[in-house]
Amino acid sequence: MNQELKKQIADLPKTPGVYIFKDNLGEILYIGKAISLRDRVRSYLSLKLGVERGLQFMEMVKKVKKVEIKETNFEVEALLLEAKLIRQHKPFYNIRLRDDKSFAVIVIDRTSDFPQITTAREADIERICSKLKRERSQSISQKIANIEYFGPYPSAGSAKYALQTLHRAFKFRDCSPEKFHHYQKIGRGCLFHSIHLCDAPCTCAVSKTDYNHSINSIREFLRGNRSKVIRDLEVEMKIKTQEENFERSAVLRDQIFALSKIQMQAKIAGISGVETNGRSSLQGLRIEAFDISNISGEYAVGAMVVGFVPVGANGRSPVQSKIQFAKQFYRRFKIRTVEGANDIEMIREVLIRRFRHLPGRDERPFVSTDWGKPDLIFIDGGKLHLNAINRITPKIPIIAVAKGPTRKKVDLYYRKNSVIPIDTSKLSKIAEIMREEAHRFAIGYYRTLHRNRLVGKGARK
């Protein structure tokens, strides 16, 4: 961003609203919402942007020449305005909300001593905004100001899944005020307390301080500050242990374990309300490699492996790059549409099936459909393989990796004008490592299918 744009950002108000990034031709690149427009837009100047949001997002920021804003009175109004503008303009860098389907959000209602966490659909938010317009009373305004919204999520199912996952770590209430007061009156907890999914604040089983401490951790976690939440919990656990408050220390230990497991599994997609490309606790460029394994077309299978390499301040991988493989993202494919030994059509089928799982392609809960978005793809093959997939690939750089004539080094083929995010001095080495890992994974799957088939034949005899 140039100095003029930085000055423009510094003059932005600290109010809720929607910001619009435009390029030098006036085309809209990205639309987002914010509680504080100045703080949110200023965050795009961070050097860590490439790690947090991905290479493609970093390239988008470089194109920004103008920022326009639309102020709103409340965050909830900004949420609706953002969805309306994205549907109207369909910016290239906005993955979500580009269709006409209703979205959902996670809602934290902090109007009571023990905040409630639920999900809400777009229609619910529209009703709140209508009420705000009808009744501009001080009491309504104060209540709305104490309700926070996290998202948006493409569907109610994905928002509910996020809450179910957080329930493993934090035993918050999601009941209505009426249900809360009912159990408060009878002096015992509901079923969720019995199965350890709620701390039963209605029965004073947890203090107001401890409960709200957990709510603050959830807010930070939903904003994307996952590592910070875990670090803060670890510090508090040590303090409580030194104070010999072992009961509280055990609760914190369980929360740390559950949150760490969530990070390692990377099963919540978009929980912070941003496109994270499936990185979770892994940082850097996401690289995927694909390989095919078969013998004369028999038991034909494909494999996808995923690795991460560090990213520098310039958005490229530094010269000294170590690959961190992420086996929780590996995928296996049985070839369905290709008959005979045709590796080119097989790799084409596998990539078509993989691209169906890019963010925003499926509105069902993300746990099974969103595999994240790669910054770079390697395929096992040569020029013919690369040409065969040119028409099916989105704007992701793809490199075909083939063994050279001497078999001692690899030859690399990629499309003209491709932006390769890895330092050229290390590209061949990383390509070879990714290719070998994909080959190992693919041939392992092939051998498993072949062995099972042979065992099945023996049993029938």
Q: What is the dihedral of CA 399, 280, 77, 63, to 10 degrees?
A: -30
| Strand duo 398-403 + 376-380: pairing | parallel
pLDDT at residue 399 tops 70: yes
pLDDT at 370: 66
pLDDT at residue 97 tops 80: no
Q: Is the peptide bond before 16 cis (omega within 30 degrees of 0)?
A: no
Question: pLDDT tens digit string along 196-237?
Answer: 788 889 988 888 998 998 898 888 888 767 777 888 888 888
* Cα radius of gyration (the chain): 25
Percent of the chain residues topping a pLDDT of 90:
18
Q: Cα dist. 417→143, 289, 397, 398 in Å?
A: 53, 21, 9, 11
Question: pLDDT tens digit string along 55-88?
Answer: 666 778 888 889 999 998 877 788 888 888 888 8
**Confidence band, pLDDT 50/70/90 cuts, at residue 405:** low
pLDDT at residue 137 tops 60: no
Residues 299, 304, 308: CA angle, nearest 5 degrees: 160
CB-count burial class (<10 Å; 0-12, 13-18, 19+) for 276? buried
Question: pLDDT tens digit string along 216-225?
Answer: 888 888 876 7
User: CB neighbours of 407 closer than 8 A, spacing ≥ 6?
Assistant: none
> Is pLDDT larger for residue 408 or for residue 275?
408
- Per residue, the 3-state secondary structure of 345-408, as one string, reads HHHHHHHHHHHCCCCCCCCCCHHHHCCCCCCEEEEECCHHHHHHHCCCCCCCCEEEEEECCCCC
Q: Is the CB of residue 229 less than 8 Å from the CB of residue 217?
A: yes
pLDDT at 223: 75
Question: pLDDT tens digit string along 365-391?
Answer: 333 456 888 889 999 998 899 988 887
**Confidence band, pLDDT 50/70/90 cuts, at residue 291:** very high
All domains of the chain in start order, with CATH? 1-100 (3.40.1440.10), 103-273 (no CATH), 285-460 (3.30.420.340)
**Confidence band, pLDDT 50/70/90 cuts, at residue 455:** low
Is the backbone of residue 115 left (phi > 0), alpha (psi -120 to 50) or beta?
beta
pLDDT at 292: 94
- Summarize the confidence of residues 2-13 as an average pLDDT: 83
Question: pLDDT tens digit string along 335-371?
Answer: 999 988 899 999 999 999 999 888 755 544 333 456 8
Question: pLDDT tens digit string along 414-451?
Answer: 887 777 877 777 888 899 999 999 999 999 999 988 88
Q: Which of 257, 272, 82 is nearest to 162 (CA)?
A: 272
- Summarize the confidence of residues 238-257 as an average pLDDT: 85
In what helix (H) or strand (E) does residue 308 lie, and over which residues does it extend? strand 298-309
pLDDT at 275: 33
Helix axes 246-265, 226-242, angle to 10 degrees: 160
Question: pLDDT tens digit string along 249-286?
Answer: 888 888 787 777 655 443 333 333 333 333 333 456 88
Q: Is the dihedral of CA 245, 246, 248, 253 positive or negative?
A: positive
Q: Which of 269, 311, 16 is nearest to 151 (CA)?
A: 269
What DSSP string describes 117-180?
EEEEEHHHHHHHHHHHHH---HHHHHHHHTEEEEEEESSHHHHHHHHHHHTTT---B---HHHH
Q: Is the CB of residue 386 less than 8 Å from the CB of residue 398?
A: yes
Per-chain mean pLDDT for the chain: 78
pLDDT at 437: 95
> Is pLDDT larger for residue 242 or for residue 58?
242
**Cβ atoms < 10 Å from Cβ of 460:** 6
Distance of CA 240 to the CA centre of its chain: 33
pLDDT at 398: 92
pLDDT at residue 151 tops 80: no
pTM for the model stands at 0.47
Q: What residue type is assigned to position 113 of the chain?
A: D
pLDDT at 407: 59
Please state the φ and ψ torsions of residue 34, each to the nearest 5 degrees.
-155, 150
Place of tokens 């394994």: 293
Q: Which of 407, 410, 385, 53 is nearest to 398 (CA)?
A: 385
